[in-house]
Structure 1
Amino acid sequence: MKNFILFGASKGLGEAFVKGLPEHGDQVWVVSRTYPSSLNVEDGIQKYWIEADLANPDASKLITSALNDIAIDVLIYNVGIWESKGFRDDYNFEQDDPAEIANIININVTSAITCIQKLLPNLKKSDNAKIFLIGSTAGLEHNDFTQVSFAASKFGLRGIGNSMREYVKKYGIGVTCINPGEIATQIPLEDGVEKVLSTYGGTQIPLQDMVSLVKCVMNLSKASCVKEITIPTMLDTNA
């Protein structure tokens, strides 16, 4: 039996993790601002919602209080907000609101640090704990992303992974940063891979691929250290 805590799991990739990673008898704590519909699915998995706004400095305390002393085997920080006009043809960095810039860094970077910090006692209770940070190809060198704050936050997430890995390896905790290209979050997990391939022609990653990747790493023994995985689409020019 495994215990999961999944951040940003009310929709998209996070929802796919809720549906695709746990097995019968596992327990899952879902951290999100909005109620996750996946909690209504009867599948033999115990699911709990932790309602939390990660922009709030006290969010990490609220989350650890909800978990109390429960051992956590898998933590996935799947959080990534971006500029309100990011990834649009009319995006203009010079018009970014300073408050929005600060919020992006706060949620994507600062909250990742503080939440993992507070949950380390729970992770230490596991025999083979794994931490996953979901980054982006925007956080890699030699890309052409112009969304400065989002890209900076994803570069920062890789830095968190590097240092966190060094800190927790004495406890046998693994830390893996995954840097995916564009993911087909519009097509639910249950619709299958073939629908994604026929719809996007290999330009977006099926949710199933991300679930399979995490499942593989989380089931490795503590002797293996998977530091970082970059998974662009086959046609991604930013990778």
Structure 2
Amino acid sequence: MKRIVVAGASRGIGAAVARHYEDRGCEVIALSRGPAAAGRWVPCDLSRADEIERIAGEIGQAPMDALLFTGGVWEAGAFTDAYRFAASRPAEAVNVLAVNLLAPILLTQAFLPALAAASGRVVLIGSLSGLDHTASSEVANSASKYGLRGAAQALHLTLAPAGVGVTVINPGNVDTEEVREDIASGAFDEQVPIPIADVLASFDFALGLSPASVVSEVNLAQMRG
């Protein structure tokens, strides 16, 4: 049975990922503040380094096949006309960077012995906001997503000798309940979000390769008719 940790498993992409791998017979360990959608829930606050250290001790270093980081936060009013950089509180930027960038780095470091023991894979959810020509105006969120791509590249170089592969997936708007609500409310333009099944297929692809290779980056843009 594969042992998989899913960070951010209470809603959105993370909830779908946790259910997907539990349905496939994997042992899923789900990290989130609120109750997880599937798997064994380990409550934690990913914005705090001491919490990451605590859960690493609680979960232990038994061989881990995959660490999947699906969490993400952003500034108030993000991706709408309500966002104002000048009005964004410093604490907000600190929290966005802590969750979106520092947490996946620290989780990977904390679970490295377990990942190396199984030639495991690390898959990180980024965003099109972290790509050139598709960056958004939300400063802290975009900075965290650009940084995550750089961290993934450095982690790949650092962890390859241990047999641990690292992939970052950068999707546009994904068909989650939150995105559907934003479209219905008019916060987002009318659009066809990326099906969650396509995101799950990207995870399957990244995890399905042999230890001889790794897909470093997957970008999922929406089709526009």
TM-score (norm 2): 0.90
| Candidates 206, 219, 234, aligned match of 2:195 | 206
Other-structure match for 1:232: 221
Shift of 1:92: 1.1
Residue 21 of structure 1 aligns to a residue whose secondary structure is helix
Other-structure match for 2:42: 50
Q: Does residue 136 in structure 1 map to residue 127 in structure 2?
A: yes
Other-structure match for 1:115: 107
Other-structure match for 1:195: none
Name segments (4+ residues, structure 1) moved above 3 Å: 22-25
Identity of aligned residues (%): 33
Counterpart contact for 1:137–1:232, Cα < 8 Å: yes
- Give the Cα–Cα distance (whole angstroms) in 1 for the partners of residues 67 and 79 of structure 2: 28
Shift of 1:223: 1.0
Other-structure match for 2:12: 12
Shift of 1:208: 0.7
Counterpart contact for 2:29–2:42, Cα < 8 Å: yes
- Give the Cα–Cα distance (whole angstroms) in 2 for the partners of residues 143 and 155 of structure 1: 11
- Give the Cα–Cα distance (whole angstroms) in 2 for the partners of residues 151 and 93 of structure 1: 12
Counterpart contact for 1:202–1:234, Cα < 8 Å: no
Counterpart contact for 2:21–2:28, Cα < 8 Å: no
Q: Does residue 82 in structure 1 map to residue 71 in structure 2?
A: no
| Candidates 50, 58, 61, aligned match of 1:66 | 58
- Give the Cα–Cα distance (whole angstroms) in 2 for the partners of residues 107 and 23 of structure 1: 27
TM-score (norm 1): 0.85
Other-structure match for 1:219: 208
Over the aligned positions, Cα root-mean-square deviation in angstroms equals 1.9
